[in-house]
Structure 1
Amino acid sequence: MNLHRVFAILFAAGCLLRAQDGPKKVEDDDPRERQEWFYSQRAYPGISIPAGARLNAIRQVQRIDAAARARRLAAAPAAAAGLSPAITNDSAKWTLIGPQPTGAGTTSVTSGRVNAIAIDPRDNNVVYIGAAEGGVWKTTDGGVHWTPLTDTQPSLATGAIAIDPNHPDTVYVGTGEENFAGDSYYGAGILKSTDAGATWTNVVGPFLRDKIGSIAVQPINSQVVICASTTGIWRSADAGNSWSSVLVGTGVTVAFDPANDAGVYATVGNPNGSTLNGVYHSADSGLTWTPLRGAAPAALPVTSVGRMELAVSKAAPATVFVQIQDSSTANFGNLLGIYKSTDAGLTWNKLPISNALVQQWGPQLWYDNTIRVSPTDPNVIYAGALLIYRSLDGGNTWTLPAQTGPNGVLLHVDLHYLAFTADGSKLYIANDGGMYSTTESTAARINWTSLNNTLAITQFYPGMTIDPANPLKAVGGAQDNGTQRFSGDFSWTAVTCGDGGYAAIDPSVPGFAYGACQQIAVRRTLNLFDNSTAWVSAQYGLDQADPVQFIAPLVLDANNPKTLYFATYRVWQSTDEGGKWTAISPDLTGGKKGTIKTIATAPSDSNVLYAGTSNSKLQVTLDAQHGANASWIDRSAGLPPRTVTKIAVDPLNAATAYATFSGFPAGFGADSGGHVFKTSDSGATWTDISGNLPVVPVNDIVVDPDLPRTLYIATDAGVMQTSDGGATWSSLGTGLPVVVVQSLVLHRPSRVLRAGTHGRSVWDILVPVPGASQQPTIQTVAPSTLDAGSAATTLSVTGSNFRAGTALRWNGQNRPTTFVDSTHATVQIPASDLAAVGRGTLVAFNSETGGGPSNSVSVTIGPAPKFVAEGFVSAANPAGGSILAQRAIGSIFGTNLASQTAVADQLPPLPFTLGGTTLTIGGNIVPLFFVSPGQINFQVPFLSVTGPTTVPLLIQQGTLSSTVNVRIQPTAPALFTANAQGTGQGSVLIAGTASLAAPAGKFPGSRPVKPGEYISIYCTGLGDVNIRPTLGSPSPSQPVASTLATPTVTIGGIPATVSFSGLAPGFVGLYQVNVQIPAGITPGDAVPLALTISSLPANPVTIAIDAGV
């Protein structure tokens, strides 16, 4: 590839490697988009989830399970029917495998979202907490050890906890998480315990549609309980047994007045704004309420008022604080202000907070909003939003404490609740990462303590994956706690990106793994279980403007792991291990603004691919390997008008598939269809196999490849199974909390079924089969290494369960197979499969019952890459010597460097894998412009070197690799030219034009430059800049990135004034130097131009100069 000529000509068109303005994507957790993802699929095609729908489903499950137990007792022993013991009795138990805790890529461990805290007034170390969808937990030692208390209750979504101050063993829990996010699930009313959480009574009351955010028990009368819910302020006069509405609106906070036994404060705070929003007070134990607005100028705001959180000082009872979210369209979610009253709400004053600090409060106070004042000192106030903030002088000045303390513990973001102990000695903190505390609330630098070591409350998304060779290795995506890696113990490790999503492990090279974060963000690692190996972007070519699910599907081809699929509103395919993506479908949503929720490949046929959308479309292609020429068929007829959540293809027959659906339709006017459907003709017709399944969203499905007619499904009410093809369903095993299950995956060799829950971490259950497995397996392949360019070759394969009809597949394609016996077979690999270096994958497939695909084995096609001596040069000046500058564009030369020729010809950021090739320099995987068997062009990483330094360069091509040392230095200037030699006509544009400063007509639009005009010199290797863009990303334009050193430029031997030296805006690795043509230069077609920076000269080039006027 002649980069020099491309730069010279294509720069004029402004189209090479240049970014264009477009939608900005971020990796940080976005609660509003998460809300849309979680909630809308359960409500669709309506706009809300019917009241009590999930509670009804849970009760249906309980009745089904009771009936199933009765049948089993009456018909024992059921195992005689040949069914798995795990699904014929209650002896099979689910086992927690963590995370407990997680490592969220920080110096401290995390667990998951916590919303509520209640501290026993008798003991600062006895604390109850409420997790998002993880239920109530209790500690008796200040958070060192936690115990779950409500796993069997009808709702684990917890929004509020209150302890009766008169009888501290009495605990009230408000279910339903009132954080105003869509995955803040509805609750099931109030849970009450009178024995410190040992047992519970559920009072549904009027709260079927509610999420409860606050509860308070009257200090002088335990019969009076006040709660705030999404439908208002409610009062009980009989200790929570019955409830009455006392104030309408969106209730947020309730708190009894420390100075008045009958006084109660409440806030109403709809995040979207409402005339009802405000602070209220009752003087008669909550029977009647009066707004506390104040009077101008000492008043609360009346416009743009959203969610309001309140704190009352026990040390100075007339002192009240309220933190208010801005509900205006322009500033939605920002801090409107913190207001203080010192006369019990009669007057209010807005506290002074600098604009800079207000900006740090974050844009999501509708979601993370809490405030507390020390019970012993009204001057000590903490406010929580995106981060935690503090005032030590009653609110007159505010600071942002260091989120990492001297002990190195980092406080997680997104604060939901703060609670001081009664004596003010300790502050407990609840956030999206779990639980923390500090005993240093007034210290200049606060030490935070993570209390997450024994909490198992991580919220997982769909798409968990298990290493096919080892069930003790797995990856799954978690809400705001990264992509989590399981290595066999309770403590999991976050390995990449914010809200993790779908993950995939290459079955033939388990170190190769992929992860999809929220929206369009795909990453890859070459060594999953090496903590020092980086995850890099693997999304080159994906259109960032595509409509997409918050958690978008990513899957590997079941036969060829080098092929991946990702979906937005269309399906994308990569055939080079995530290096480059191509759209292989049109809009599959029917043009109705939906997105693709699930995609599934067929284990028996790589050409068959199914896709299901958020707006009830199901589409199928039978020629996926045709790439962009694949044709798609709409197979939605006969399916319900709800979101398709998951598709699973039968392991033996690509025409047989199962589709699951979300929503609560039956009895609520949407449709009468079920949640699980089957096709036996590639979607031409569908059969509802929901049987006695409750009306509950089904989120995932697994087809058991070894037990005929056996299916497992993940639902919003747990995991259920059928062994009769869907006629009857019941819960699988015992011990799984009553929780939403998002992800379900079967590890076939070990028969471990794994469930990823949305609030109670991950659980395993064994589902053994009677007798030996019939799945084929491959143990050895000989030869295991082949040479590129070889003639047709016969491979000898050993393994087990080979049959006369066994087919051996090379990269997903059947190849001529000879059956020898049950443990031996041979396969013919044609020369066309061995044309280039890289790797091939071999899979055995049996089409009979219990067969399906085997494990995947990688076969190396060599030889390994080989480098040309001194073949490491600047891409601008190949003849300039084998030393490279940091952030420069470099080239390497050799043989077998790549299996194919591939060009990064789409918008940056650049890919880190291209054509299956990856390049690592000094431990940094680097972005690639171009790869071919003989040459690779790349961007050098920034390595902070101070002089010429030798670092290792590693090239990986599949399972092949080679390492060589290269020299890097801070600066090594090189100018681009119109030839491949780094000499002659330079790549220099006349400013304000698209013309090269070259003889007229020599290049399209070229002309000589005149004295006084400005030119832009394009080069690389000018060293460090004041604004460092991410490696492989385009350079900024506002402000521009300038070099730390300024070069000198002479033209025709005359010094020229440099007006700018830095990175060319919108380009990757390209530098630009702007100079004015000085007077007095002798005109000519080849006037020499010389550039020097940091005493290092670049290669001289020429430009054409006119005499001027």
Structure 2
Amino acid sequence: MKTQQPNLSRFPQHFCAPFFRRFMAKEWGRAERTNIFRWRFATALLILTTLLPAQSPHKRFLQPRTLGQQNIAEHLVKARATQTAMLTTTPLSTPWQPAGPNQINTTLYGNVTGRITSIAIDPADSLGNAVYLGTTGGGVWKSSNATSANPSFAPLTDTLPVFSANSGTSVIPSLSIGAVSVQPGGTGVVLAGTGDSNDASDSFYGEGILRSADNGLTWTIAQRSNDGTAGRHLFLGEGIAGFAWSTLSPQLVVAAVSQAAEGTLVGASQLGASTRGLFYSTDAGMTWQMGTIADGTSVVQSPTTDFSNYEGNAVTAVVYNPIRQKFYAAVRFHGYYESADGRTWTRLATQPGAGLTLANCPTLAGAPGAQSCPLFRGALAVQPVTGDLFALTVDVNNLDQGLWQDACAFNGSTCLSNTVAWTHPLNAAPLESNGAIPQADYNLVLAAVPTTAAGVADTVLFAGTEEIFRCSLASGCNLRNTTNATTGCAAPAKVAPAQHAIAAGNGGLIFFGNDGGLWRSTDLVAQNGPACSADDATHFQNLNGGLGSLAEITSLATHPTEADTMLAGVGVLGSASTSSASSLSPWQQLGTGESGSVAIDQTDPRNRFLQSGSGVSIFHCSNGAACTAADFTGLPQIGASQTSEDISLVNAPFLLDPALNTNLITGTCRVWRGPAMGGSLWSTSSLLSAPLSGSSSDACTATDALIRSLVAGGPVAASSIPQNAGSTVLYAGMAGTFDGGGFAGGHFYATLNAQTNSGSSVWMDRTANTVSNDPLHANLFNPGGFDLSSIFVDPHDGSGNTVYVTVMGFGFPHLYRSTDAGATWLNLSGNLPNAPANAVVVDPNDASTVYVAMDTGVYVTTEVDICATANCWSVYGTGLPNAPVTQLNVQAAVSIPGGAQAGALRAGTYGRGIWQVPLVTAGALPAAVLQVRPDSLTFASQPVGTTSSAQTVTVSNAGSAPLNLLAIVITGDFTKAGTCTAQPILPPGASCTVEVFFTPTSTGTRTGTLTITSDAGTKTVALSGNAPGPTALILTPTTLAFSSTPIGTAAVPKNITVSNTGTANATLGTASITGDFVLSANTCGSTLPPQAGCTLSITFKPTASGARSGTLTLSSDSGIHTASLTGVGTSAATDILSPTALNFPNTVATTTSSAQTVTLTNNGDIALTLIATSITSGDFTVTSLRQLALRALQLFHADLLRTPVRRSADRPAYGHRCLRHADSHSCGNGRGPAGHLSPSALAQLRSHGRRQRQHTANRDTDK
């Protein structure tokens, strides 16, 4: 497969185009990163194609949303029912207020707002003033003065009754609009297809087709076609790529149903129910039916097709040709089709591209199309006056398949030929880069506009890719780049890149929608000067000033005391800030690259931090509100160089250490902490962890799980080493299984001693720990392996142990809490909708009040402690647009505009900017809040009449006034102690402890309660424990004696049997042994049933000679049990020769000297045997060998005589004698006449494997 490698030379200065929001966070110019990207992308695609129907490679792939192995459509239905039940109540119905950014002021493009996906001009308005916009996340907008100098647009779908729980609807909100269309004829009918079909991972799923019969004032929704059985042919989870209206039958309209990539990733579409394809309506969109697509007589799909194994075939474009009076459509991995009635579709005999053959694009009835077919996305346009048809196609790798024209040759009534022939290939080379059209799977659109120049009829063709290209057919269609936003000439037209929509009116009027918002031209972009001319901008008008906020908020930071000062990450639009949020004036763009996390220093708010560019790319400015875009250019202060070129998510998380604002913490596959100013102050010493999961290498690799969320809290450590100073408690949440989390997808890691990566900095994977109240999911934490979208440490708990976690996925719990740093968990999802959860915060004034952001809105509880067992959640506020809520921010010290009470909650949405509302506790009178954790204690088995070790209950004041403890009462077989009795009044934020002991008075399960009563209420802690029946543990035998055993060897093991002769289970401790004895085998577990036994095998391994002793000790719940152990260690025999030289006096030849004695000593513990002597010279003899064996610690004596046989003064006479025992000997030489035994010859002494060397010689001289 050919891989297209995009050019990122513009990356730091311009919009980070959606193609780049994939896994890789490093510059693409480096080969190793490109290879890693290919590996990770291919691996993820392989996984998804195994689990899902064959689909696109999901460009902008695998952002933080994943799917569970469950029937997600069923869960969506349940989510709708849950939302219906959660009606808002008066105390929680405070209206939300917008906080912007309505527009973002950029240097290159002027004002930008957000992504426009579709544009429709009302055909009944010949002036073109009535214009409808479809947006990603922002819903449908309308202008009634679109041709004026300063047009204005208003949202039509923010809070539709069809999306409102209070109206009793069961429809989950969807403001992601893939296509918008107006019925010709002035009927007032407007269709808006929910679900973005642009194949980005943030192309959110749809809920169906919205329909208005009164120009957008009121709306209904169609969620399915009417031709299938119940539950089949749903639009749920899909995207709508376009609509086309018949001019022959005005009530006939066709919808192209495609894939919403994000819906696929979260599993919002359901096999066997949600279906892609071509659907038609004969009543102007009130009801729908599926069309039949066929290759000749072979059916690709029809209403009777079995869709149990796939979701149909995505349709990427549909148009109606009023001259040919037929519909035309592009079907992914199949080709181009036509239909006269919208019901029956047949494959065009001639296709616009040589590769679109039936051999490459087989029918494959009842299955997804073949990826060998070079049509991943096709765009179509019709010139409505001439009937000419245009097609532009790319394959799965964005390789251009050609721009083609079918010339109708309209003769006033019909086309010259009734068959579409595609006989005119147009030059598409200007669109290409190395044969591919960049990002064409994401941004590809065509428009053919009739015009007249100098009395000559012409067609102006527009192709929208990253840029806007234009050509005149009358002039040969030489495509001109009219915007040059990404070509390096500084965007002279001042139009943002990534085009999604083009709509033409009359008299040269044309609108363009892209990632930055809306632009208009009133002269069909009639540029005549050279490319990149300064006057290019005069042919476009920026209309974003008339729009409200369409911002996709990826991160939000606020000033600690100034309510109007905010900093936000806005994804592809970079980052932006304001000091006047309430005025809704344009914000100023700061970072121009892809932006995820942002931060304002809460201690010194002049310090601003933001991501600008993919991955770890953190910039800093200390000028506060005076910071400009120029302060965030060049190299980042903390980037790849500071983090060892680690791979990371595109939006790598970072935060300022809340305990030490001069430190910054960021995550790749590892956790880093260092000086916030970055630069050379960072090194590998800034690492706080190794890769949390995956390889054990020194750097992140393609197989390592990547960190999705990161937070710090707990006690503060003081150190002169930056990475060891600050918060000691850190938590890291991993990306989902299909989003870079791999085999650690959605895992949760914790350290309670954050220091430089070493043995003292221990990170614990808390994922496998028990969720105590979730048997439905086997008490597992995040069983779906979804992204941990956010983590929040409760600031009311100074230990940092209370932590909340949100999960981004369907079908499993969405919110967890732990009060012991993840050692145990509670599922707090309760009555929250079954939809992805994106953020959670705790009210700064009340630890019991918690807010959660979900795809379906913002929810609050004021009694979080009951959420584990009861429905506790309510919708918070009114008027919040039905866009996914991605971020939450709380401030205790500021008031929202118009409010006199301090306390603000801000919500960042995907597609509708930032909204704000007072906190539930805003302006509340100081009050104490009793908090008791944990809410239950379970003790291990404890014998009757004994006392357990203590377990601790912490009593805290989480409120803002002193807490008076009135009584602490304990019941059952439990006693208490602790500090609370001596501290009856707790100031705000203070805590005390109650130590609870289990003192059973009888056997069996024992229960009780600990009740804490205060002036702020009463809390009860459930107590339980077990007192086992009597046990009688016996060791047999109680003495083991081992025979003599050589040192360094092991004796044959002997067994001791442990028997429980009682009537209850015996709890056994660990057996221990002292002395030269070893436990060689153990069949005993932690519990021994009554009338059962187990065996302890023991061996003797002496380390010294003599008697050795030891003790076996075994503890149990019935006492301590011992057995004595004895044995004898023996050392090996030795052979020590003394002396090693004999000196004989002068001896006359042939006479015999007096005897001299050699002694051999055995200092060992065993006998030395087979002792023998020998003399090699005749001048020496052994007169006596007193023993042939030596017992332990015994001496051996041998007597030697000298008898010289001749005399010679000049020539020496040599003799040689040997003493031998077993395989050892000692030898020496002598020379006459004098006799002397000296070390002149080798002798070897061996004794039981031990070798010595001794040298003796005999020298004699005869006189």
Measured against the shorter chain, the TM-score band is 0.5 to 0.7
Match in the other structure for 2:805: 659
1:387 is matched with: 467
Which amino acid is 1:236 matched to?
S
What secondary structure, in the 3-state scheme, does the structure 1 residue paired with 2:473 have? coil
- Whether the 8 Å contact between 2:858 and 2:885 is mirrored in structure 1 is yes
SS at structure 2 position matched to 1:42 = coil
Aligned match for 1:101, one of 97, 103, 106: 103
1:198 counterpart = 2:217: yes
Asked if structure 2 preserves the Cα contact closer than 8 Å seen for 1:224 and 1:237, the reply is yes
Q: How does 1:856-875 map to 2 (within 5 A)?
A: none
Matched, 1:538 2:668: no
**Rounded Cα–Cα distance in structure 1 between residues aligned with 2:323 and 2:544:** 36
Whole-angstrom CA distance in 2 between matches of 1:627 and 1:209: 44
Alpha-carbon distance, 1:498 to partner: 2.2
Structure 1 574/97 Cα, relative in aligned 2: closer, same or farther at 3 Å?
same
Match in the other structure for 1:890: none
- The equivalent position to 1:764 in structure 2, one of 896, 916, 928, is 916
Q: How do residues 307-386 of structure 1 correspond to structure 2 at under 5 angstroms?
A: 307-317=377-387, 319-327=388-396, 332-343=397-408, 345-354=420-429, 358=433, 362-376=437-451, 378-386=458-466
Counterparts of 1:703 and 1:203 in 2: how far apart (Å)?
Answer: 38
1:453 equivalent to 2:545? Answer yes
Match among 101, 112, 115 for residue 113 of structure 1: 115
1:36, distance to aligned residue in structure 2 (A) = 7.5
Asked if structure 1 preserves the Cα contact closer than 8 Å seen for 2:709 and 2:790, the reply is yes
Q: 1:360 to 1:140 in 2, by over 3 A?
A: farther
Larger Rg: 2
User: How many Å separate the matches in 2 of 1:406 and 1:656?
Assistant: 50
Q: Indicate the residue corresponding to 1:398 in structure 2.
A: 479
CA distance in 2, matches of 1:191, 1:298: 37
Match of 1:235 in 2: 280
Residues in 1 aligned to 2:490 and 2:806: alpha-carbon distance in whole angstroms: 50
For residues 162 and 769 of structure 1, what CA distance do their matches in structure 2 show?
A: 44
Does 2:627 match 1:620? no
Report Cα offsets for 1:514-573 as digits up to 9, x if no partner: 112432221111224215551251224444643322222111111211111111111111
Contact 1:108 1:409 (C-alpha < 8 Å) held by counterparts: no
Query: Which residue does the alignment assign to 2:241?
Result: 213
1:162/1:57 CA distance change after superposition, 3 Å: same
Match of 1:573 among 669, 673, 676: 673
Cross-structure match for 1:84: none
Q: How does 1:905-1054 map to 2 (within 5 A)?
A: none
Q: After TM superposition, give the deviation of residue 698 of structure 1 in Å.
A: 0.8
Q: Separation in 2 of the partners of 1:60 and 1:413?
A: 40
The CA deviation at 1:138 is 0.2
Partner of 1:904: none
Q: Is the 2:352–2:402 contact (alpha carbons within 8 Å) kept by the matching residues of 1?
A: no
Instruction: State how far apart, in whole Å, the 1-side matches of 2:60 and 2:850 are.
Output: 26
Tell me by how many angstroms 1:314 deviates: 1.1
* Structure 2 match to 1:526: 622
2:775 corresponds to 1:632: no
What amino acid is aligned across from residue 666 of structure 2 in structure 1? F
What letter matches 1:265 in structure 2? Y
C-alpha distance in 1 between matches for 2:59 and 2:399: 20
Instruction: Find the counterpart in structure 2 of residue 602 from structure 1.
Output: 713
The alignment partner of 2:21 has SS state of helix
For 1:138, the equivalent position in structure 2 comes to: 142
Letter in 2 for 1:380: V
Query: What amino acid maps onto 1:411 in structure 2?
Result: V
Q: Specify every segment of 5 or more residues in structure 2 that has no aligned partner in the other structure, as ranges.
A: 1-6, 23-57, 164-172, 225-233, 259-275, 294-300, 302-312, 361-372, 409-418, 452-456, 529-535, 696-702, 717-726, 736-744, 771-780, 895-902, 929-958, 964-986, 989-1013, 1017-1263
- Deviation, 1:311, is 0.3
- 1:149 counterpart (152, 156, 171): 156
Conserved? CA contact 1:50–1:209, under 8 Å: no
CA RMSD, aligned part only?
3.3
Distance, in Å, in 2 between the alignment partners of 1:503 and 1:160 is 33
| TM superposition shift of 1:662 | 1.1
Q: What is the distance in 1 between the residues matched to 2:218 and 2:518?
A: 24
Distance 1:202-1:801 versus aligned 2 partners, 3 A rule: closer
Q: Secondary structure at the match of 2:590?
A: strand
> Which residue does 1:483 correspond to in 2?
575
Deviation of 1:41 after TM superposition, in Å, equals 3.6
1:56–1:229 Cα change, 3 Å: farther
The residue type equivalent to 1:145 in the other structure is: S
1:757 to 1:401, Cα distance in 2 relative to 1, 3 A: same
Q: Which amino acid aligns with 2:82?
A: Q
User: What is the distance in 2 between the residues matched to 1:545 and 1:23?
Assistant: 17
Kept in 2, the 8 Å contact 1:361–1:385? The answer is: no
Q: Name the residue aligned to 2:1216.
A: none
User: Are residues 1:61 and 2:83 paired?
Assistant: yes
Whether contact under 8 Å (1:41, 1:663) holds in the other structure is no
Q: Tell me the equivalent position of 2:975.
A: none
Distance 2:182 2:564 in 1: 41
* 8 Å contact kept, 1:645–1:699: yes
Q: Please state whether the residue corresponding to 1:31 is helix, strand or coil.
A: helix
Residue among 675, 680, 689 paired with 2:828: 689
CA apart distance, 1:346: 1.7
Q: Any idea what SS the aligned residue of 1:677 has? A: strand
- The yes-or-no answer on 1:463 pairing with 2:555 is yes
**Any conservation in 2 of the 1:104–1:482 contact (CA below 8 Å)?**
no
Change (3 A) 1:300 1:477: farther
Aligned with 1:253 (options 288, 296, 317): 317
Corresponding residue number in structure 2 for 1:1062:
none
Q: Deviations over 1:782-828 (max 9, x none)?
A: xxxxxxxxxxxxxxxxxx99999xxxxxxxxxxxxxxxxx99xxxxx
For these two proteins, the number of residue pairs brought into alignment is 724
CA deviations on 1:399-423 (whole Å, 9 max, x unpaired) are: 11244899976100000011101x2
Aligned-partner residue type, residue 478 of structure 2: T
Q: 1:359 deviation in Å?
A: 5.3
SS of alignment partner, residue 57 of structure 1: helix
Give the aligned partner of residue 267 of structure 1.
330
| Residue 577 of structure 1, CA deviation | 2.9
**What corresponds to 2:72 in structure 1?**
50
User: CA 1:118 to 1:603, structure 2 compared with 1: closer, same or farther past 3 Å?
Assistant: farther
Structure 1 residues 120 and 300: CA distance shift in structure 2, 3 A: farther
Distance in 1 (alpha carbons) for counterparts of 2:574 and 2:96: 25
- 2:547 counterpart SS class: coil
Q: Quick check: 1:512 aligned with 2:557?
A: no
Shift of 1:588: 1.6
Q: Structure 1 counterpart of 2:151, which letter? A: V
Is residue 257–residue 312 contact of structure 1 (8 Å, CA) maintained in 2? yes
TM-score when scaled to structure 1?
0.61
After superposition, residues 790-805 of structure 1 pair within 5 angstroms as none
What's the CA shift for 1:397? 1.2
For residues 604 and 460 of structure 1, what CA distance do their matches in structure 2 show?
A: 35
> Would the aligned equivalents of 2:578 and 2:625 in 1 still touch at CA under 8 Å?
no
Distance 1:486 1:38, change over 3 A: farther
Question: TM-score of the superposition, structure 2-length normalised?
Answer: 0.54
* Contact 2:256–2:278 (CA under 8 A) maintained in structure 1: yes
After superposition, give the CA deviation of every residue in 1:858-910 in whole Å (9 maximum; x if it has no partner). Answer: xxxxxxxxxxxxxxxxxxxxxxxxxxxxxxxxxxxxxxxxxxxxxxxxxxxxx
TM alignment of 1:273-284, pairs within 5 A = 274=333, 276=334, 278-284=335-341
